[in-house]
Chain A
Amino acid sequence: AQSVTQPDIHITVSEGASLELRCNYSYGATPYLFWYVQSPGQGLQLLLKYFSGDTLVQGIKGFEAEFKRSQSSFNLRKPSVHWSDAAEYFCAVAPGGGNKLTFGTGTQLKVEL
């Protein structure tokens, strides 16, 4: 069965600093990979997804993620964080061709002004 690990439970960055959130997955074949963001009291919103092609994926709100097969990773990045980016971020994996998402435990991002 597939699994997702987000090793950082909490991360604090200063506004304007760069951000990288880590995600490692375990799956036998090439998975479909997603990053979602959850603001307090809200549902999850898709930031970006990867299923094939270019390993660097651009998403909404200035986020990008890079799929590295050799490292089984799909890390999320943003060059300059805004205070409004404070939220919880979830990495998720779905087996190729399937719709069942397995989520990581999430990383809580705090942005210091």
Chain B
Amino acid sequence: DARVTQTPRHKVTEMGQEVTMRCQPILGHNTVFWYRQTMMQGLELLAYFRNRAPLDDSGMPKDRFSAEMPDATLATLKIQPSEPRDSAVYFCASGSGQQGADTQYFGPGTRLTVL
């Protein structure tokens, strides 16, 4: 049963520290999405990639957030420096790249707490 995996599942850190979240998309999927979920804002798309190239990162604060795909099996989301307002659950999702009707398969999320 192919699944999106995310590590770590939980992360507690102090303000100012660097945080790196990792995602392994489903093998063969060529689109990867990063979402953030908070009580106040709900689910927000931060960035997405197709064939490892960033297509849209307009939802991501540029000054502290960065997203990359070093290879087809790994996507990373980095926050440097982290702030308490970054506390949220971060989800990665992958898809086969089919236009429009593409199903996005979500990972279990990384719950980030910034103290």
Contacts and interface: CB of A to CB of B under 8 A. Distances in A.
Interface of A: 32, 36, 41-46, 49, 51, 90, 94, 96-106
A51 B100 contact: yes
B101 A106 contact: no
A101 B45 contact: yes
Nearest to A92: B43
A105 B41 CA distance: 8
Nearest to A99: B102
A98 B95 CA distance: 12
B70 interface: no
Nearest to B99: A97
Contact of A43 (B31, B99, B101, B109): B109
A79 B3 CA distance: 30
Contacts, number: 53
Contacts of B76: none
B80 interface: no
Contacts of A49: 101, 103
Contacts of B105: 46
A100 B103 contact: no
B4 interface: yes
Given A49-B103, A96-B100, A90 B43 contact: yes
B87 interface: no
A103 B43 contact: yes
B109 A99 contact: no
B101 A51 contact: yes
B100 A101 contact: no
Nearest to A41: B108
Interface in B97-115: 99-109
A43 B91 contact: yes
B33 to A, nearest CB: 8
A35 B105 CA distance: 13
Contacts of A46: 103-105
Contact of A100 (B4, B56, B108, B109): B56
